[in-house]
C-alpha cells in the first residue's frame, strides 16, 4: 500500500511549552551530516588512502579523478570513493557494522523494503489532468515549449489501451481502428484514425480522442464528449445485458464501463472549467453513486476542488471524513485540504509573536499539526503555495509525495489557499517546523513511512527539462568529494610549481624538511626537560 498509515495522535501537553518547537525555524531541504552513510567513520582511513593514491598521479589524472568523482555524485547521489571505501576497503581493514541486523531479519527487511520501493515509485494518473488540444497544445503554441515528456505521454497511451480496448475489438471494425490509434505515436495519425472510425459508426472512443487532442477549446471538447456520451451509453446498455454470457462479454462490459465513467468525469471537468461549478459537483456526486467501486479515477479529488471553489467547507469536510482513511492511499489533495480547513478556523487572527508569547490554543495546535502532517507527506508543496518556486503545467501522471504531485496540487489549489484569509501566513510561519520532527526523513518518518528515495528520478522523467525539479532532502556534498578536490588541487599545484621552478621548489622542500626536523628536536628536548623536572620533584 503506497499510503503510509496515519499514526495515533500524540498528547498535546502544555501548549506554551510546545509553541516554540512547532513555530521555530526548521532545517528544510537539507540532510544533517549525521545522516550520511553508515560506516563513513570506519572507512575514513581507506578513503584517505584511495584519495592519496589518486592524487599521486600526474596533473591530468588528478583533474580527471576530480571530474569523475563530481559526475558520479551528480548521477548516483553518493561519493564514489566513499562507496568503494565502505563496500570494499572497510572489510579488508576489519571494519564491522555493529548495527548490522541478523541474516534472517536482514532478509525480511530487504523484502519489505523492496515491496515498499515498488509501491513508492508507482505513478498515478493525475485526476485533474488537462486537455491536450485545448490546454497543453495552446501552451506549446504560445511558448514553443513541450509541457509533456515522452515518458508521461507513453504512460497515457498505456492507460488508454487498458481502459478503452478489449480482446473483442477486432470483431468490430471501428474498435479495431481505434485499437491501433491508441498505439500511434504521431498525434495526427491518431486523429486521422479517429475520423476514419467515425465514418464507420458512432464510436465513443473516437470521440474521446478527438475531444482530448483535436479540440482547441473547452467548449469544442465538451461538444465532442456529449456525442461520446450518447454513443457510450448505448454500448454500455447493450453490453450490460450480455455480460454474464461469457468472459469475452464480461471484458467488453468492463471496457464500456470504463469508457462511460471517463466520459462523464471529463464532462464534469468541462463544466467546472466553464464556470458551471454546481453542475459539475452534481455530475461528480452522481457518478460516484453510480460507480462507487471505480476508485482508480480518484473522482473525489475532482469533487474536493469543485467544492472548495464553491466555498462549501462543510461539504468538503464530509468528503474528507469519508476518504481520509488509513485504508486508502493518501494524496497531497487529501492532506493539504484537511490542513486548509483546520487553518481556516484560526488563520484570520493568528500572530506568531502572540503565539510564542502566550502559547498555542487547542485550535491553533490542531491547525499546526495538520500542516506538519501535510508537509511530511509532501514537503515540496509549500514552496509552490508560498510562490517561492514558479509553477508549470501539471503532468498527466504524478508520483505520490513527489514534485510532480506538488505541482499538480498547487496548480489547482493555490487560489483556494489565497481565498482563506491568513492561511498562507500560517503556513509560512509553521511549515519549516516539520523538519525538526523528522531529522532523518529517509530513515524514519513521524506520521508516515520514511520519505522514498526514488522520487527525484521518477519526477525527472515526468516533468519537462526546463523545470528545475525540487529535491528533498537536499543533498550535501560529501566530505570525500571536498577532501579529494582539495587534495588533488594542492598536489596539482605543487606539481606545476615544481615543473616551472624546480630549483626554487627544491630550496623550499629543503627548508620545510629542516623546519620539520627542528620542530621534532625541540619537542624531544622539551619532553626530556619535563621528564627531568618530574623526576626531580618539581
Going along the chain from its start, the domains and CATH numbers come out as: 18-27+329-469 (no CATH), 28-93+478-532 (no CATH), 149-311 (1.25.40.10)
If you compute the radius of gyration of the chain from its CA atoms, what whole number of angstroms results?
Answer: 31
Query: What residue spans of 56-202 are helical by DSSP H?
Result: 59-76, 80-84, 90-92, 103-120, 137-143, 150-164, 173-181, 187-200
Cell of 464: 519537462
pTM for the structure as a whole: 0.69
> Which residues have a Cβ under 8 Å from the Cβ of 385 and sit 6 or more positions away?
410, 413, 414, 417, 424, 427
pLDDT at position 398 = 95
pLDDT at position 498 = 82
- Please give the chain's pLDDT, 538 residues, in tens: 333 333 333 333 434 444 444 454 433 343 334 433 333 444 344 443 444 344 444 456 656 666 777 676 666 555 666 655 555 544 444 444 444 344 444 444 444 444 444 445 789 999 999 999 999 999 999 999 999 999 999 999 999 999 999 888 888 899 999 999 999 999 999 999 999 999 998 899 999 999 999 999 999 999 999 999 999 998 888 888 877 787 888 888 899 999 999 999 999 999 999 999 999 999 999 999 998 877 778 899 999 999 999 999 999 999 998 887 765 668 999 999 999 999 999 888 887 777 778 888 888 899 999 999 999 999 999 999 999 999 999 999 999 999 999 999 999 999 999 999 999 999 998 888 788 877 777 677 777 788 888 888 899 999 999 999 988 766 555 555 666 777 788 788 878 888 888 888 788 888 878 888 877 776 666 666 566 556 655 5
Does the bond joining 473 to the residue before it have cis omega, within 30 degrees of 0?
yes
Backbone angles phi, psi at 20, to 5 degrees: -65, -35
Cα dihedral 465/471/476/480 (nearest 10): -60
pLDDT at position 48 = 39
pLDDT at position 34 = 40
pLDDT at position 52 = 37
CA of 205: how far to CAs of 11, 174, 201, in Å?
54, 9, 11
Q: Where would I find the beta strands (DSSP E) of 374-454?
A: 397-399
Amino acid at each position: 500500500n503506497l499510503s503510509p498509515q496515519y499514526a495515533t495522535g500524540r498528547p498535546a501537553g502544555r501548549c506554551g511549552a510546545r509553541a516554540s518547537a512547532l513555530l521555530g525555524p526548521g532545517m528544510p531541504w537539507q540532510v544533517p551530516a549525521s545522516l550520511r552513510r553508515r560506516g563513513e567513520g570506519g572507512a575514513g582511513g581507506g578513503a584517505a588512502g584511495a584519495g592519496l593514491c589518486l592524487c599521486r598521479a600526474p596533473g591530468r589524472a588528478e583533474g580527471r579523478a576530480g571530474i569523475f568523482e563530481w559526475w558520479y555524485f551528480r548521477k548516483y547521489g553518493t561519493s564514489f570513493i566513499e562507496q568503494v571505501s565502505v563496500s570494499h576497503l572497510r572489510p579488508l581493514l576489519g571494519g564491522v557494522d555493529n548495527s548490522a541486523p541478523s541474516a534472517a531479519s536482514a532478509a525480511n527487511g530487504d523484502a519489505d523494503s523492496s515491496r515498499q520501493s515498488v509501491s513508492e515509485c508507482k505513478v498515478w494518473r493525475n485526476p485533474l489532468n488537462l486537455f491536450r488540444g485545448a490546454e497543453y497544445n495552446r501552451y506549446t503554441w504560445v511558448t514553443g515549449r513541450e509541457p509533456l515528456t515522452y515518458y508521461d505521454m507513453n504512460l497515457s497511451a498505456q492507460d488508454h489501451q487498458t481502459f478503452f480496448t478489449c480482446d473483442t475489438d477486432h470483431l468490430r471494425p471501428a474498435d479495431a481502428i481505434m485499437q491501433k490509434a491508441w498505439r500511434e505515436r504521431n498525434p495526427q495519425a491518431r486523429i486521422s484514425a479517429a475520423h476514419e472510425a467515425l465514418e464507420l459508426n458512432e464510436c465513443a472512443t473516437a470521440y474521446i480522442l478527438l475531444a482530448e487532442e483535436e479540440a482547441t477549446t473547452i467548449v469544442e471538447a465538451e461538444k465532442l464528449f456529449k456525442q461520446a456520451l450518447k454513443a457510450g451509453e448505448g454500448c454500455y446498455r447493450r453490453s450490460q445485458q450480455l455480460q454474464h454470457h461469457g468472459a469475452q462479454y464480461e471484458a467488453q462490459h468492463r471496457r464500456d464501463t470504463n469508457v462511460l465513467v471517463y466520459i462523464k468525469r471529463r464532462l464534469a471537468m468541462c463544466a467546472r472549467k466553464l464556470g458551471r461549478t454546481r453542475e459539475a459537483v452534481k455530475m461528480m456526486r452522481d457518478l460516484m453513486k453510480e460507480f462507487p467501486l471505480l476508485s482508480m479515477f480518484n473522482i473525489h479529488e475532482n469533487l474536493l476542488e469543485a467544492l472548495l471553489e464553491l466555498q462549501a467547507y462543510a461539504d468538503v469536510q464530509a468528503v474528507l471524513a469519508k476518504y481520509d482513511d488509513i485504508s486508502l492511499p493518501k494524496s497531497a489533495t487529501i492532506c493539504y485540504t484537511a490542513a486548509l480547513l483546520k487553518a481556516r478556523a484560526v488563520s484570520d487572527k493568528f500572530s506568531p509573536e502572540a503565539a510564542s508569547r502566550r502559547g498555542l490554543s487547542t485550535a491553533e495546535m490542531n491547525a499546526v499539526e495538520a500542516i506538519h502532517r501535510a508537509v511530511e507527506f509532501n514537503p515540496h508543496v509549500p514552496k509552490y503555495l508560498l510562490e517561492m518556486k514558479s509553477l508549470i503545467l501539471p503532468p498527466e501522471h504524478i508520483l505520490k509525495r513527489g514534485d510532480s504531485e506538488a505541482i499538480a496540487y498547487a496548480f489547482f489549489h493555490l487560489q483556494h489557499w489565497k481565498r482563506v484569509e491568513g492561511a498562507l501566513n500560517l503556513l509560512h510561519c509553521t511549515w519549516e517546523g516539520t523538519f525538526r520532527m523528522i531529522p532523518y526523513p529517509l530513515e524514519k518518518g513521524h506520521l508516515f513511512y520514511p520519505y522514498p528515495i526514488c522520487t527525484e528520478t521518477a519526477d525527472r522523467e515526468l516533468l519537462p527539462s526546463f523545470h528545475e525539479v525540487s529535491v528533498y532532502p537536499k543533498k550535501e556534498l560529501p566530505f570525500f568529494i571536498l577532501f579529494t578536490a582539495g587534495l588533488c588541487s594542492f598536489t596539482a599545484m605543487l606539481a606545476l610549481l615544481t615543473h616551472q621552478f624546480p630549483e626554487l621548489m627544491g630550496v623550499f622542500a629543503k627548508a620545510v624538511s629542516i623546519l620539520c626536523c627542528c620542530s621534532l628536536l625541540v619537542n624531544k628536548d622539551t619532553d626530556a626537560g619535563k621528564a627531568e623536572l618530574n623526576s626531580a620533584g618539581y
